[in-house]
Amino acid sequence: MTKSLLIVDVETDSNHPHHAHILEIAVARLNLGTGTVELPVDTLVRPDCPEDNWHGCWFMDNSGVPAKLIRQAPTFDSIRPRLESEIQGPITAYNTEFDFTVLGRHGVDIPKPWPCLMLTCTPILRLPGRSDYKWPKFSEAWHHFFPHERLTESHRAGPDAVNEAKLAFELYKGGYLKAPRYG
């Protein structure tokens, strides 16, 4: 039985995963027995692109992170060894298609992916969409599972990964999130 689950969250300069540069990354480790969450990786990242590419992006405009901190942050290549050593276990994200694609674009392999949290929540929340249920925003999933707990969105990778881990634990306890079978 899996004892822990990793949840990754990336903040980028673009909402197009095939073009996005990572500006911040966090990995939360969820203990599936107790629900406790640790944050072994939580760092800003200096992207390998001109500042014009990221300076006015959504993350920079909404996170409160000054550009100076991004300029002083480590490069992705310098944090990659630590990141890759941390993500050897089962891993998911709120939007695995986006986060895993961005990581793959940066040369990171996801060896043991678990189901996407957003897609797992979709048939549970049953929010009306155009032809079927729409994919819920994280805040919609949070309010469904934690109706009496306020969600503070800082648009930062660390707090987002911790909140996503709390959601993952609720999904796991409820029998909605199950370990995939590998090979």
The burial of 119, by beta-carbon neighbours within 10 Å (0-12 exposed, 13-18 middle, 19 or more buried), is given as middle
Structural tokens at position 23:
């500006």
Residue 159 pLDDT level (bands cut at 50, 70, 90): very high
Residue 129: its pLDDT value, please? 85
Average pLDDT along the chain: 94
Residue 183 pLDDT level (bands cut at 50, 70, 90): low
Residue 20 predicted with pLDDT over 70: yes
Q: What percent of the chain has pLDDT over 70?
A: 98
Residue 75 pLDDT level (bands cut at 50, 70, 90): very high
Architecture of domain 4-173 in this structure: 2-Layer Sandwich (3.30)
Residue 2: its pLDDT value, please? 57
Question: Per-domain residue ranges for the chain?
Answer: 4-173
Residue 182 predicted with pLDDT over 80: no
